């Protein structure tokens, strides 16, 4: 039934609209088949592997991060060229993020910011790029550029996920700066405004941490069963100094 009403909306067979769609739809489909996206993604992933290998070899042979001959610089340029040549695919997002990550690693912060400025606010790469800017800010302890970009994204990005990520990043930036009150407010905003994004749960955890998990506060109680089947209660360790080790075999 749905399909029927859909074709009816397109117009009767032989109508101009029908003809145009008949010609255009396959062309669109051919232009961007998912297979091509996969191929491009593989290509970019191979570039990442190669870049990583060259960087490791360079530092093993005594090369420094700030060295003008560091392979990270060449690869940053290569990934950026890829972005300019192949706009609008999922691989573009990865290449963009990679280019900017490498610039950050080489401490070329103004170059990083100049390139980030060329990204429109609706660019899907922002979801990752904003995090690169956060790393750069933590390193330089200068959050002004990051905060202005993130605020702009929360206003003008189209994708809700990117808006959520930007608001979340504002919270993280304030937290790193030591302004826990601003951090809490921003994380709460993520929870309230973007409840259906992956960032809401993380933001909720951060609000909890800011409110309840400070040094000097009582550790949250829990009762569990050990892998041997014995009951374990944190309250049972009263009078002891307790190390909680969170770990994984992975």
Partner 1 sequence: MGEVPLLKELFERYKDQGVVVVGISLDEDVKLVQEMVASKGITWPQVSDADETVRKLYNVKGTPSYYLLDRDGKIVAKDLPSFKRLNAAIDELLKKP
Residues of this chain, 88-147, that bind partner 1 according to CB under 8 A: none
Tokens of 145: 């550029």
Residue 6 interacts with partner 1 (CB under 8 A): yes or no: no
User: Shortest distance, CB of residue 154 to partner 1, whole angstroms?
Assistant: 22
Residues of this chain, 161-220, that bind partner 1 according to CB under 8 A: 205-206, 208-209, 213-220
**Closer to partner 1 by Cβ: residue 66 or 230:** 230
CB-CB neighbours of 153 under 10 Å: 25
**Rounded-to-integer distance, Cα 163 and Cα 20, Å:** 36
Residue 243 interacts with partner 1 (CB under 8 A): yes or no: yes
The dihedral through the CA atoms of 83, 133, 70, 54 has a sign that is negative
Residue 61 interacts with partner 1 (CB under 8 A): yes or no: no
DSSP characters for 53-111? HHHHHHHHTT--TT-TT-HHHHHHHHHHHHHHHSTTSHHHHHHHHHHHHHHHHTT-HHH
Stretch in the footprint of partner 1 (CB under 8 A) among 65-73, 87-95, 100-108, 238-246:
238-246
Stretch in the footprint of partner 1 (CB under 8 A) among 24-32, 66-74, 186-194, 230-238:
230-238
Residue 237 interacts with partner 1 (CB under 8 A): yes or no: yes
Residue 235 interacts with partner 1 (CB under 8 A): yes or no: yes
Q: Please work out, in degrees rounded to the nearest 5, the angle formed at the alpha carbon of residue 208 by the alpha carbons of 172 and 204.
A: 65
Residue 16 interacts with partner 1 (CB under 8 A): yes or no: no
- Contact (Cβ atoms closer than 8 angstroms) between residue 111 and residue 123: no
User: Shortest distance, CB of residue 135 to partner 1, whole angstroms?
Assistant: 15
**Rounded-to-integer distance, Cα 215 and Cα 121, Å:** 39
Residue 230 interacts with partner 1 (CB under 8 A): yes or no: yes
Binding region for partner 1 (CB under 8 A)? 205-206, 208-209, 213-220, 222, 224-228, 230, 232, 234-235, 237-250
């Amino acid at each position: 039934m749905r399909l029927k009403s859909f074709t009816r909306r397109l117009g009767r067979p032989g109508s101009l609209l029908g003809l145009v769609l008949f010609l255009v739809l396959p062309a669109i489909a051919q232009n961007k088949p998912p297979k091509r996206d996969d191929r491009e993604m593989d290509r970019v992933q191979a570039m990442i592997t190669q870049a990583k290998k060259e960087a490791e070899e360079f530092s093993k042979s005594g090369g420094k991060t700030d060295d003008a001959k560091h392979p990270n610089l060449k690869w940053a340029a290569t990934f950026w060229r890829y972005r300019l040549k192949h706009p609008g695919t999922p691989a573009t997002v990865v290449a963009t993020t990679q280019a900017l990550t490498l610039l950050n690693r080489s401490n070329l912060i103004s170059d990083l910011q100049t390139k980030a400025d060329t990204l429109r606010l609706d660019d899907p790469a922002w979801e990752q790029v904003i995090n690169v800017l956060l790393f750069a800010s933590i390193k330089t302890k200068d959050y002004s550029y990051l905060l202005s970009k993130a605020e702009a994204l929360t206003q003008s990005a189209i994708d809700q996920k990117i808006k959520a990520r930007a608001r979340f990043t504002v919270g993280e930036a304030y937290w790193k700066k030591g302004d826990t009150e601003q951090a809490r407010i921003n994380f709460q905003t993520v929870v309230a405004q973007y409840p259906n994004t992956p960032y809401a749960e993380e933001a909720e955890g951060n609000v909890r941490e800011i409110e309840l998990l400070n040094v000097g506060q009582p550790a949250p109680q829990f009762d569990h069963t050990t892998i041997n089947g014995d009951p374990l209660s944190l309250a049972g360790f009263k009078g002891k100094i307790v190390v909680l080790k969170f770990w994984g075999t992975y």
